[in-house]
Structure 1
């Protein structure tokens, strides 16, 4: 039986995490980047995210099978209670429930931090991604039509939104991820691991 672990990413994971990400740059429109990213640059990206938000990795028998994280949605201070979510899987580990397990833990964690709204930006058509987000309560906000050019075509970008809290009154400051209770996090990891199947379906 495979040994499955979910935990917060570490900066030492950057090289292996990037190996999961790079095929999406070169072969897909899931990310709109064109070129390979130097590992040291990718590590710095991770650090900037991890200073405030969760970045989860799923390991199967010691190999990073996938990861998910939240990052700032827009830069201005008034958007400080929003975030964007992303999930990427090693192509060997599709159809095992890893993406859904990571997302569920991720959303619980940012809710605990005090985030109000989560956004996802999806290059469409992408029926499985849209369905996954709808499963977790995301709704379609709008579409940027022909907003990006990649792999020989103009691409549309769908914006989806998940509201975690009612937007009433002045919000409390968002709690940085390193101040979230460790027992709460460990419990979320354990619950998520139980949702992952050990073999491809």
Structure 2
């Protein structure tokens, strides 16, 4: 029997140190700790899949909290059953002692674990939905304040209208204008359309 740990943060700029500290306290070897910096919406994660290849019946998998395993209600339920029933490994959710498959092997214990798992996986998915809503609200608020997203808009020279007139009269090519203005072809045609509308 070997002990493993799975750690997940949602993005590259998030820090996994809190989870690593928890695993260090359990003396899990570094080679048995798998870390993904990826969304918890599904289980198509590189290091999680590598971990699955190493797990053998009787092994123990530690995770700090159920939302580190995933954030999709059905997927968490399915993965839990796959790991515990098909792969025959034990799982210990550190911050939720009721979710420790080593302890509650009788019918009542299994029922309580299943119930807690359902509630926590529901909460994990709800939090994922709330995060998305908060992000959308934050973006909308930033746009309302005038914050622009994406690449900065290309600067157009003051004589752009004259250059376009020369282009229309075949005195300049589009490529010459692009080079002079240091803009892309898409920006050029978009600005020409805007001039026609205004």
Per the TM superposition, whether the score is higher than 0.5 is no
Structure with bigger helix share is: 2
Which structure has more relative contact order (CA 8 Å, sep 6+)? It is: 1
Structure with more strand by fraction: 1
- The normalised TM-score by structure 1 is 0.25
Structure with higher Rg: it is 2
